[in-house]
Amino acid sequence: MIEYQTINGTKIGTVPFSNGTSLTNDTLLDVMMNCRFEDCGSILVYQHHLADEFFDLKTKVAGDLLQKFSTYDCKLAIVGNFQSIESKSLADFIGESNRIGRITFASTKEEAIKALSV
């Protein structure tokens, strides 16, 4: 179930899964399609909801997902702790994603909502 809220005229869908629930790319695409059906183009999830393969750029999972979010004109904000990333390529990907704004990596829910409601 997706929880919806409207902030500054932007409808945001939040995935309220508990810890331990892992979203695969297919599940996240289902969430995106459900949100688009509800006229919502902004989605907020938490880092612990995503499978580890999302953060391993060699798997191309994050890049494929970014492409789909771009194709369907949807934004994604991922809330988590990204300060201690050791992978330079992942840190660069996060920086570039935040610069473009299609997928935002945020430290707090408030920061994520601000990025989604622009």
Task: Tell me how far the alpha carbon of residue 66 is from its chain's centroid.
Answer: 9
In the predicted structure, residue 21 carries a pLDDT above the cut 70: no
CB 116 within 8 A of CB 79: no
Span 32-37, average pLDDT: 93
Express each pLDDT in 38-62 by its tens digit: 999 999 999 988 888 888 899 998 8
Task: Categorize the per-residue pLDDT at 19 as very low, low, confident or very high, splitting at 50, 70 and 90.
Answer: low
* Segments in 1-118 forming alpha helices (H): 25-37, 61-71, 88-100, 109-116
User: Token digits for 116?
Assistant: 């989604």
Express each pLDDT in 77-116 by its tens digit: 999 998 878 889 999 999 999 999 899 999 999 999 999 9
Burial code (b: 16+ CB inside 10 Å, e: under 16) for 36-64 equals eeeebbbbbbbeebbeeebbeeeeebbee
pTM of the model: 0.90
Where along the chain do its domains lie? 3-116
- Fold entry, domain 3-116: Transcription Regulator spoIIAA (3.30.750)
Cα separation, 82 vs 91, in Å, equals 8
